[in-house]
């Protein structure tokens, strides 16, 4: 399939900036550190899911959908951006939000993304501990169909072949920036969870001739389990775009040492990374994804995996509103 012919909406402020991080780099012993500001995509406080929604909701509208449903944790950034996109497009939105064991309680349950979801007019259903959010979404979609609605279900994180196309497009932006600045990145570093962002970057790297390896710092799984998840999405995405699968080996890296006790549970390294990045660059990370990925990046410089001459691009996938649910953890 020809990538440029795939239908998409215009929901994001793109291309997002790529900015040099000199003060943070000085602390890490490098002058070759940049950030791709996908926290600045604009929709409902921005984030990486907006790129995915440009393709997913184009598909939903083409199918005649009137209601969008998706699943995520209680402070899900994907759910928040889905609610914002649905509001912009005049679609009904229903969110199935799952509890996150070990997350802070005093603010987590009602501030940050939960507040924003309500402002966007979404209907929130809170799953009980042990309930399967995907199953609840399918049951709700069936009920809506019986009521005469046309529902469209989006998987966790928007991470399927359609959603991953958003990060094929992001790879094109990185390739354009490299050409304009006569710079070629060695690594693209990101937080990896539902795998669509990393899978899209891998496909886009082949399509647009990026030689950088993508290193995903896991937020919920071991290195091995996350790599399987990434490759299980990347392979059919390659098929979808008629890319040669032989170009994939060695490009995808995953690191699971920074998950801590589990998804959404704060770690000391994450807290340090969030504070240092804010104090040196005025750049706000989030406690669940980018904070843990930045902790991993710090260690890669400290242990010599990344050297001072390696050109490293940190992909900021957004999530800043979740900070407000973690105040008691950060200070």
Catalytic residue ranges = 76
Q: Characterise 200 by phi-psi region: left (phi > 0), alpha (psi -120 to 50), beta (else).
A: alpha
> What gap in Å lies between CA 172 and CA 295, rounded to an integer?
27
- Confirm if 220 and 98 have CB atoms less than 8 A apart: no
Bridging pattern class, strands 33-37 and 67-73: unpaired
- Confirm if 288 and 316 have CB atoms less than 8 A apart: no
* Cis? peptide before 200, omega within 30° of 0: no
Q: At what angle do helices 290-302 and 268-281 cross, to 10 degrees?
A: 90
Q: At what angle do helices 49-62 and 77-89 cross, to 10 degrees?
A: 40
Please state the three-class secondary structure of 267-326 as a single string.
Answer: CHHHHHHHHHHHHHHCCCCCCCCHHHHHHHHHHHHHCCCCCCCCCEEEEECCCHHHHHHH
> What gap in Å lies between CA 20 and CA 312, rounded to an integer?
10
């Amino acid at each position: 399939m020809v990538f440029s012919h795939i239908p998409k909406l215009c929901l994001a402020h793109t291309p997002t900036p790529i900015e040099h991080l000199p003060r943070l780099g000085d602390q890490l012993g490098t002058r070759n550190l940049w950030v791709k500001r996908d926290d600045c995509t604009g929709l409902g406080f921005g984030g990486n899911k907006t790129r995915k929604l440009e393709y997913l909701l184009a598909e939903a509208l083409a199918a005649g959908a009137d209601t969008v449903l998706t699943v995520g944790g209680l402070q899900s950034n994907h759910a928040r951006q889905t609610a914002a996109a649905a509001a912009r497009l005049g679609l009904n939105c229903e969110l199935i939000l799952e509890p996150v064991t070990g997350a802070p309680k005093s603010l987590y349950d009602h501030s940050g993304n939960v507040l924003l979801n309500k402002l966007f007019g979404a209907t929130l259903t809170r799953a009980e501990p042990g309930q399967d959010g995907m199953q609840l979404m399918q049951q709700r979609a069936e009920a809506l169909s019986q009521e005469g609605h046309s529902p469209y279900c989006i998987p966790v994180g928007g991470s399927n072949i359609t959603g991953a196309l958003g990060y094929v497009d992001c790879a094109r932006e990185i390739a354009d920036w490299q050409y304009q600045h006569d710079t070629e990145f060695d690594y693209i570093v990101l937080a990896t969870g539902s795998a669509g962002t990393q899978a899209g970057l891998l496909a886009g790297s082949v399509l647009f001739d990026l030689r950088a390896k993508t290193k995903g710092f896991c937020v919920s799984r071991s290195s091995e389990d996350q790599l399987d998840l990434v490759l299980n999405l990347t392979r059919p995405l390659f098929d979808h775009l008629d890319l040669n699968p032989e170009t994939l080996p060695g490009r995808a890296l995953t690191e699971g040492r920074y998950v801590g006790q589990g998804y959404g549970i704060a770690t000391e390294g994450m807290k340090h990374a969030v504070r240092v990045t804010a104090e040196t660059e005025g750049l706000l990370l989030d406690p669940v994804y980018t904070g843990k990925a930045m902790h991993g990046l710090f260690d890669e410089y400290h242990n010599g995996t990344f050297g001072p001459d390696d050109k490293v691009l940190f992909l900021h996938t957004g999530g800043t509103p979740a900070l407000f649910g973690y105040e008691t953890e950060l200070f």
